[in-house]
Amino acid sequence: MDVELNLNGEHLHAELEPHELLLDVLRDRFRLTGAKRSCDVQVCGACTVLVDGEPVSACSYLAVDARGHELMTIEGFAQTEEFAEFEAAFSRHAALQCGFCTPGMLLTLKALRDAGELATEEDIRHGLEGNLCRCTGYGSILVAARELAGAVEEQDQ
Ligand code: FES
Ligand code: FES
């Protein structure tokens, strides 16, 4: 079926099968490879994208269900002024190593902050429960997230 998608602010059409997963459509049709496939069962957060500002696991979300909603991938977020702040915080605190989890982490943190749910360390830990990282040990991610939450002054680092 022909489905119109609102993807990173663009209205695009795609011929979709009802069973196609959003992750496959983003990666294979639109070559948006920032969302990663890892666990494939909605556990790791590597495939996170935003649907109407809410983080969802694209590995478990039917692409046709995105019709009528606003989709944002890391590629779209990277075009915004806000992204520079996130990039700087992650870079300053070495909050990534291989980077595989990073797009999902950044989008989840953006959603949390937009929702006002990034105020405390407990918020951050709770909010990132669905985003797994094999490399960093999480400490540096928490520090970067606290900075994005406004809880860490740059000069304290
Ligand atoms: S690949 Fe989707 S949650 Fe892990
Ligand atoms: S930086 Fe490698 S998985 Fe998180």
Q: For ligand 1, say whether the CB of 39 is within 6 Å of any of its atoms.
A: yes
- Pick from 136, 131, 54: which is nearest to 95 by CA? 136
- Domains identified in the chain and CATH numbers: 2-73 (3.10.20.30), 77-151 (1.10.150.120)
Q: What angle do CA 131, 75, 117 make, to 5 degrees?
A: 45
Name the strands in the sheet holding 54-57, side by side, starting at the edge strand that comes first in the sequence: 10-15, 2-7, 70-72, 48-51, 54-57
Q: What is the whole-number distance in angstroms between the Cα of residue 46 and the centre of ligand 2?
A: 9
Q: pLDDT tens digits for the chain (157 residues)?
A: 999 999 999 999 999 999 999 999 999 999 999 999 999 999 999 999 999 999 999 999 999 999 999 999 999 999 999 999 999 999 999 999 999 999 999 999 999 999 999 889 999 999 999 999 999 999 999 999 999 998 765 444 4
**CA 136 / ligand 2 centre spacing (Å):** 6
β-strand partners of 3: 14
Please give the Cα distance from 40 to 57 (Å, whole number): 9
Q: Do residues 11 and 67 touch, judged by C-beta distance below 8 A?
A: no
- Determine if ligand 2 sits within 6 Å of the CB of residue 97: yes
